[in-house]
Amino acid sequence: MTARRGYPAVDRFRVAAALLVVCIHTAPLASFSAAADFALKTLARLAVPFFFTATGFFLLGELVRPGLRPRTLSPGVRRFLKKTGVLYAACTVLYLPVTLYAGNFPVENVLGELVRDAVLDGTFYHLWYLPAALLGVLVVCGLLRFLRPGAAAGVCGALYLAGLLGDSWYGLAKQLPALKEGYDALFGVMDYTRNGLFFAPAFLMLGALLAGFPARRRPRACLAGLGCSLALLFAEAFGLRALGWPRHDSMYLALVPCACFLFLCLLVPRGGDAPFLREFSMLVYVLHPMAIVGVRGAARVLHAREWLVENSLAHFAAVAAASCAAAWLLARLSQRRRWDGRSGTAPKPDLRRARAWAEVDLEAVARNAGALQGCMPAGCRLMAVVKADAYGHGAPAVAGRLWQAGVRAFAVATPEEGAQLRRCGITGEILVLGYADAARIRELRRWRLCQTVTDPAHARALARAAGRRPLPVHIAVDTGMHRLGTDAGAAPAVAEMLRLPGLEVRGLFTHLAVADSPAPEDAAFTRTQLDAFEALARKLRGAGYTLPPLHAQASCGILNQPQPDCGYARPGIALYGALSTAGCAARLHPVLAPALALRARVVSVRRVPPGEGAGYGLAFRARRSTRLAVVAIGYADGWPRAAGEGRGHVLLHGRRAPVVGRVCMDQLLVDATDTGAAVGDVATLIGADGPERITAEEAAEAAGTIANELLCRIGPRVPRVYLR
C-alpha cells in the first residue's frame, strides 16, 4: 500500500511540472540557442510522465496488492473518471472559440474527426493529456482485472515500445516497409502515439507499482539513478535528433527510468500534503494556452511584440505569470466554494443562526496521525479507526483527510460504516471490527470490505457463503479480554481458519484490555497478552504458515507499551487528540492536538434572587443574586445529563462557569454571574476560549465517563464545521 503520511515534494513538483509544460509550448531559449532550447524541451518531457506516475501512485496503488483482482472500478477510480471527464468537457468548451478562430475546426467528416480528437488526440493541442488519462486508467484497470501486476506491467511496456517506434524512434520503423505501412495506417486514425493507449498506461502502471510494492527509500541511490537516467535521456534525444529519426519527441526509452527515479526522490520527504498545489498546477496546465493567446494579444495592442513575443524568454515569463495568476485566483475561489466529495466536508453552516455546533480541525487529525506514525517501528502501518462516525468527528471528513495524508487502511465497526466510506470515495483496506453474519456477504463484497472472523464457526460460515471467490478477512485472537476472538492457545483452530479456501486472510489481531492503565499489575497483564499473541504467531510460523500482517496496539497501547513486531497499529481516540481519561499515562509523548471543539449559543440570561430554584426538580437553588444563562444544548444533542448540577463547566468570555441544575433535553443552565454573559454569546463546552481550555477528558470525567463515549455521543443535530 502507499505510505502513511503525505508527500509534500510530490505536490510541490506538480507546479514545476506544469511550468515545464509551459516551456514546451513557449520555447524560452529559442531566441538564444536552438540546442539549449532543445535540451530544456527534452527535460520538460518529464512533466507529463510525472503527472501520470503520480496518478497511478495515488489512484491505482491498491490494485496491485498481491491476490487482489478488482472486478469493478473502485469508487476512487469512478470519481477520478467523472471529475476528469467533466474537466475535459469544460476545457473543450473553453477552447472552442480559439479553435474556431484558428481555423482548426474540421469541415469534412466532422463527426469522425470530433470523435477521434475527443478520444485520442485532444480537442486542443494540450488537452490530449485528459483523454489520455481517462483511457490510460481504464486500460490499466482492465489489465489488472485479468492479469497479475507483473504481466500487466509487461503489456503496458509493450504498448509503450510500440508507441515509441511511432514517435522519437520513427526513423527505425521507416526502415522496415511492413512496419512503416502499419504506422502510416495508424496515423490515419490518430495524429500521435502519445495517447492513452500507448503512452499513459506505462507511467500509470509505474506509479501503481511504486505504491503497491514500496521499498525502503535511499535518497542517495535515488539521486544517483536520476542523474544517470537523465544523462541517458539527453544522449538518446540528441542522438536521435542527429539521425533525424523523430516524428515527434514525446516518448523516449530513458523517460521510464527518469520518471521512476524522479518519483522515488520525491517520495523521500514526508509531512503534510498540499491539495491547493494540486489544483493550482492543473489550472496552470489547462490555462496556459489561453495565456499565450492573451500575451500575444496584449503585445499587439501595446506594440510590444519585440519584447513580449519575439524575445522567447520574456514571452515565457509573461505567459507563466499570467497562467499562475489566473490559476491562483481560480484555485482560491474553488477552495472556498467546493464541496469536497471525498472528505464529505460541506460548506460551513451559518454560525450566526446555529444553536450549537462542533468545530473539527482536520489538519489536527492529520498531524496527530503523523505523530502516532512516528511512534511506530519501521514497517508498521497506521490503520485509522474511524468507527462511530470517527468518534463523533465525522467519518467521511476524517477519512478523507487521512487519505490525503497517506493513510491507506481504516477500521470501522459495521458494514454500514464501511459502505459510507466507500460511497465517499475512500479506497484501500477497510476492516469491519465487529461481527457480521455470513448472510451479509454480498454487502461485504459489494463494498470490498474486510470482515473480522470471531471464531472457527464464524469462519466456516463465511467460507461457505464465499464459495470459490475468497472473502478478505482478519482473524481476531482472544488473549485475555474475552470479548471477540479465538483463544490464543488454540493454534490448531487458527490454523484451520488460515487454510479455509473461502477466506483470504489479510490480518491477525488481538485487543489489549488494560493498556490505558499505568498500574504495574495492568502493565504485566498487557505484557502477558502480547506474549500470548507472539507465541501464537511463532507456533503458526513454525508449522509452515506464512502469516499476514499482525496488529495488537490501539491508542493507549501505542503510547504506553513497547511496540511488537506488527504490520499495523490501530489508533482510535488518540487520532483525535484525546485519550480515554485524563490520567491515562503515556510512555511516549507525541504532540497530540485536540481536533474537536463543542460550542453552543447563549439564548437567554435572567436574574434569579437568592433562595429561588431553577430547572427540573428545582435542583438548583440560588445562594446569591445569580445571573442564569440558558445555553442551547442538551442531552438530545449528546451532552450527558450527569454533567449538570455543578459537576461540569463551560467557558464564557474565557472564564469558567459551572453548569447548574439538571441538564435538559435541549438546554442547560449556567451560573454566569461572574462572566458578564449576554444573549448571543458563545459557550464552549469542549475546547479553548482565550487562555482557558476544557478538554474532552475533563468534561468526560465530570460526567463520570470517558472521552470516547462523550465524543461519540455528540448527536447528528449538532452540525460539524470542518476547519481545513
Catalytic residues: 387, 616
The CA dihedral of 10, 14, 16, 18, to the nearest 10 degrees, is 160
Across 454-595, the runs of DSSP E, i.e. the strands, are 471-478, 486-487, 503-509, 550-551, 568-569
Strands 471-478 and 486-487: parallel
Closest C-alpha to 135, from 198, 74, 89: 198
Using CB atoms within 10 Å of the CB of residue 228, give its burial: 0 to 12 exposed, 13 to 18 middle, 19+ buried: middle
Using CB atoms within 10 Å of the CB of residue 125, give its burial: 0 to 12 exposed, 13 to 18 middle, 19+ buried: middle
Alpha helices in 338-485 (DSSP H): 362-375, 387-391, 395-404, 415-423, 441-446, 456-466
What is each CA distance from 127 to 49, 86, 190, 241, 287, in whole angstroms? Answer: 15, 13, 14, 26, 10
Distance (Å, rounded) from C-alpha 724 to C-alpha 714?
A: 21
Distance (Å, rounded) from C-alpha 405 to C-alpha 407?
A: 6
| Cell digits of residue 258 | 527518469
3-class DSSP assignment, residue 305: helix
| Cell digits of residue 362 | 482536520
483 is in an annotated binding site: yes
- Amino acid letter at 713? R
Distance (Å, rounded) from C-alpha 143 to C-alpha 154?
A: 10
Residue-by-residue DSSP string for 84-101: HHHHHHHHHHHHHHHHHH
Task: Find the distance separating the first CA and the last CA of the chain, reported in whole Å.
Answer: 26
For residue 90, report the phi and psi dihedrals to the nearest 5 degrees: -65, -40
For residue 602, report the phi and psi dihedrals to the nearest 5 degrees: -80, 120
For residue 529, report the phi and psi dihedrals to the nearest 5 degrees: -60, -50
Distance (Å, rounded) from C-alpha 445 to C-alpha 462?
A: 12
Estimate to the nearest angstrom the gap between the alpha carbon of 535 and the chain centroid: 36
Distance (Å, rounded) from C-alpha 590 to C-alpha 509?
A: 24
What is each CA distance from 577 to 125, 362, 590, in whole angstroms? Answer: 49, 11, 10
665 is in an annotated binding site: yes
3-class DSSP assignment, residue 705: coil
Distance (Å, rounded) from C-alpha 270 to C-alpha 90?
A: 34
User: What residues are designated binding site for substrate?
Assistant: 483, 665
Binding-site entries: 483, 665
